[in-house]
């Protein structure tokens, strides 16, 4: 087991950084390119374990994918006609791989068995089994309570209007991907808007999805048109550095080429409410919007994160909880029971680790109350095998007296190869000349 030892780094950060490609978008780019009718070059791809699980799964389904460099994929689409895999499809730690592929495989004329690691083998799959079964596929979860391995027997599917009980982009995407092969219209309505990368990418690949309020639909028997695609940097990865700078008065951080899709930028709105100054400039609108974030740190104050905002910040809640611990007053997270079924039970993991650092935390079924503002103390913590817990508490360690040890940090490779190197760079070279973007036209948050 690998561990990190983090020491307090009290001075302000002045830095310009880029972050690796967006994880959600990288998965979708590999899948949709593989279903398309020609060759697509994907640049900015995230070469993390999760996204490579998707690439290997598509290869196992007959899609030729070259990777001339880690962040570039050349994908030869199979016009939605995949090949029967010769063995299990290993999704590793990646829920996105397993759930999105279950939608793709629901219409293929063969049987596939999707497996994952110990963490993925505990995660709920009934949420995709239900709609895909209603569309006509046969799905069987071999684990307890609908957990993987998941066997998918593809069939000729029928249209469905699905009212999803959860705000989940993975469920929405599974149904829409299945809908590509249906004669007629398939639609999904979600209770609250989740990330819309699948809709945007279907649009890019000229499938013409229709979006009306919280409902997205596709008219099927449509093959995505092959086109090249650029994956911007992952704002969920940037969030760790944004919080590190936000909680340190005098810090100034510039993040470039980062995704600024409006269904993912909730973290910026939360940090502004907490007292950071944030400027966001969209430089490219097409496909997935991306640009720059400039953030100035301050003395943070607590806030409430709940309701419609939750799906927009779902992956940032561990690091926002750390921001809450560093802020004055109470930070309340509610309506976030979904965090209990992520790579680990994130509410329990956050509460346990914050308490070990001396923070008072109340744990509720759907959230946390964090009483911030008391100095953090270094502690020995577990990642619980969850990449975002490991990275969030590495940032907490920068603010804690003494040494913070985080055990089980290998999992960070699932989403952010290079995280630790960036952490060291920011800690050792805290002052860097960075260009001023304040004079450019901007959407001030």
Helices 126-134 and 169-179, interaxial angle, to 10°?
Answer: 30
Q: How far is the CB of 195 from ligand S3P (least distance, A)?
A: 6
- Contact region with ligand S3P (CB under 6 A), list: 6-14, 162-170, 253-261, 322-330: 162-170
φ, ψ (nearest 5 deg) of residue 131: -65, -40
Name the residue with the smallest CB distance to ligand S3P.
24
**What tokens appear for 240 in the block?**
């760790």
Whole-angstrom distance, CA of residue 351 vs CA of residue 317: 12
| DSSP classification of residue 434 | -
- Contacts of residues 145-149 at CB distance under 8 Å and 24 or more positions apart, as own/partner, are 147/121, 147/122, 147/123, 148/91, 148/98, 148/114, 148/115, 148/116, 148/120, 148/121, 148/123, 149/88, 149/113, 149/114, 149/115, 149/116, 149/121
Q: Which stretches of 242-300 are assigned E, i.e. beta strand? A: 252-259, 277-284, 290-296
Pick 95 or 149: Cβ nearer ligand S3P: 95
- Segment (H or E) for 114: strand 111-115
**What tokens appear for 218 in the block?**
């596709």
Residue 96 interacting with ligand S3P (CB under 6 A): yes
Whole-angstrom distance, CA of residue 68 vs CA of residue 429: 32
- Contact region with ligand S3P (CB under 6 A), list: 104-112, 167-175, 243-251, 345-353: 167-175
Residue 101 interacting with ligand S3P (CB under 6 A): no
Q: How far is the CB of 342 from ligand S3P (least distance, A)?
A: 6
Pick 80 or 264: Cβ nearer ligand S3P: 264
Residue 54 interacting with ligand S3P (CB under 6 A): no
Catalytic residues: 315
Count residues binding ligand S3P (CB under 6 A): 12
Pick 224 or 372: Cβ nearer ligand S3P: 224
Pick 252 or 342: Cβ nearer ligand S3P: 342
**Angle at alpha carbon of residue 112, lines to 34 and 219, rounded to 5°:** 50
Pick 94 or 422: Cβ nearer ligand S3P: 94
Whole-angstrom distance, CA of residue 254 vs CA of residue 232: 15
Residue 53 interacting with ligand S3P (CB under 6 A): no
Distance of CA 81 to the CA centre of its chain: 28
Residue 343 · residue 388 · CB < 8 Å: yes
The correct pick among 26, 168, 223, 404 for binding ligand S3P (CB under 6 A) is 168
Q: How far is the CB of 24 from ligand S3P (least distance, A)?
A: 3
The correct pick among 315, 316, 369, 386 for binding ligand S3P (CB under 6 A) is 315
Whole-angstrom distance, CA of residue 357 vs CA of residue 376: 5
Residue that is written with structure tokens 């495989």 in the block: 105
The correct pick among 102, 108, 112, 170 for binding ligand S3P (CB under 6 A) is 170
Contact letters (x/-) for ligand S3P, 327-346, by CB under 6 A?
-----------x--------
Residue 169 interacting with ligand S3P (CB under 6 A): yes
Residue that is written with structure tokens 């302000």 in the block: 12
**What tokens appear for 406 in the block?**
């985080």
Whole-angstrom distance, CA of residue 373 vs CA of residue 299: 10
Residue 190 interacting with ligand S3P (CB under 6 A): no
Pick 68 or 365: Cβ nearer ligand S3P: 365
Residue 235 interacting with ligand S3P (CB under 6 A): no
Pick 98 or 409: Cβ nearer ligand S3P: 98
The correct pick among 14, 21, 24, 224 for binding ligand S3P (CB under 6 A) is 24
Residue 314 interacting with ligand S3P (CB under 6 A): yes
Question: Which 358-417 positions form the footprint of ligand S3P (CB under 6 A)?
Answer: none
- Residues of this chain that interact with ligand S3P (CB under 6 A) are 24, 27, 96, 168-170, 173, 194-195, 314-315, 338
């Amino acid at each position: 087991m690998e561990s990190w030892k983090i020491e307090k780094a009290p001075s302000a950060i002045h830095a310009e950084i880029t972050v690796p490609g967006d994880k959600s978008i990288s998965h979708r780019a590999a899948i949709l390119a593989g279903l398309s009718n020609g060759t697509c070059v994907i640049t900015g791809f995230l070469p993390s374990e999760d996204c490579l699980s998707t690439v290997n799964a598509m290869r196992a389904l007959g899609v030729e994918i070259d990777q001339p460099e880690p962040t570039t994929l050349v994908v030869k689409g199979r016009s939605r006609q995949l090949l029967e895999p010769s063995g299990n499809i290993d999704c590793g730690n990646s829920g996105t791989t397993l759930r999105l592929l279950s939608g793709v495989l629901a219409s293929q004329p063969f049987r596939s068995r999707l497996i994952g690691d110990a963490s993925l083998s505990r995660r709920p799959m009934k949420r995709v089994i239900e709609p895909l079964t209603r569309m006509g596929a046969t799905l069987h979860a071999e684990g307890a309570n609908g957990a993987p391995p998941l066997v998918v027997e593809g069939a000729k599917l029928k249209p469905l209007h699905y009212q999803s009980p959860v705000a989940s982009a993975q469920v929405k995407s599974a149904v829409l991907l299945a809908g590509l092969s249906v004669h007629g219209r398939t639609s999904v309505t979600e209770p609250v808007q989740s990330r819309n990368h699948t809709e945007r990418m279907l649009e890019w690949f000229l499938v013409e999805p229709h979006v009306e309020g919280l409902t997205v639909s596709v008219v099927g028997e449509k093959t995505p048109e092959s086109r090249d695609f650029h994956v911007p940097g992952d704002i969920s990865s940037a969030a760790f550095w944004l919080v590190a700078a936000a909680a340190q008065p005098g810090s100034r951080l510039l993040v470039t080429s980062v995704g600024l899709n409006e269904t993912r930028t909730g973290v910026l709105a939360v940090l502004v409410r907490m007292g950071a100054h944030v400027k966001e400039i969209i430089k490219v609108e097409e496909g997935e919007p991306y640009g720059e974030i400039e953030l100035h740190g301050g003395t943070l104050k607590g806030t409430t994160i709940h309701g419609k905002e939750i799906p927009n910040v779902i992956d940032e809640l561990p690091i926002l909880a750390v921001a809450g611990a560093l802020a004055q007053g109470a930070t309340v997270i509610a309506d976030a029971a979904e965090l209990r079924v992520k790579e680990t039970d994130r509410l329990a993991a956050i509460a346990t680790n914050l308490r070990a650092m001396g923070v008072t935390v109340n744990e509720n079924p759907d959230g946390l109350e964090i009483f911030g503002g008391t100095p953090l103390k270094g502690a020995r913590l577990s990642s619980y095998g969850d990449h975002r817990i490991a990275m969030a508490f590495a940032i907490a360690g920068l603010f804690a007296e003494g040494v913070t040890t985080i055990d089980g940090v290998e999992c960070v490779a699932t989403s952010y190869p290079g995280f630790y190197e960036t952490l060291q760079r920011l800690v050792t070279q805290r002052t860097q000349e960075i260009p001023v973007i304040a004079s450019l036209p901007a959407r001030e948050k």
